[in-house]
Amino acid sequence: MTNITPEEVKQRLDAGEKLNLVDVREPHENAEFNIGGRLVPIGKIQSMQIEEIEDLKNEEVIFYCRSGNRSGISAAVLDQLGFTNTKNLAGGMLAWQEKFKQ
């Protein structure tokens, strides 16, 4: 797992790049604000219920949460399960909203 900044992700999204974004927050957090990722709460990842993202095992996957903690844990768990290119959105949605005032 490596970290990626909100600026890097936003620049790539603005350029039209299709990114594999995974939101590991809870549904109510996702409903409040999100950047378009698939919702797979950390509890599912920790209990290895990852069927919905299994197809991304060999692709770049960017995980995000509120602050970057849960997404970092999720990326580390998936690294152990054989995912080859996980990235953690540094600072999570708090940093995103601060930088882009959303």
Distances (CA, A) of 71 to 8, 14, 15, 16, 66: 17, 22, 24, 23, 8
41-50 residues labelled b (16+ CB within 10 A) or e (exposed): bbebbeeeeb
Active-site amino acid positions:
65
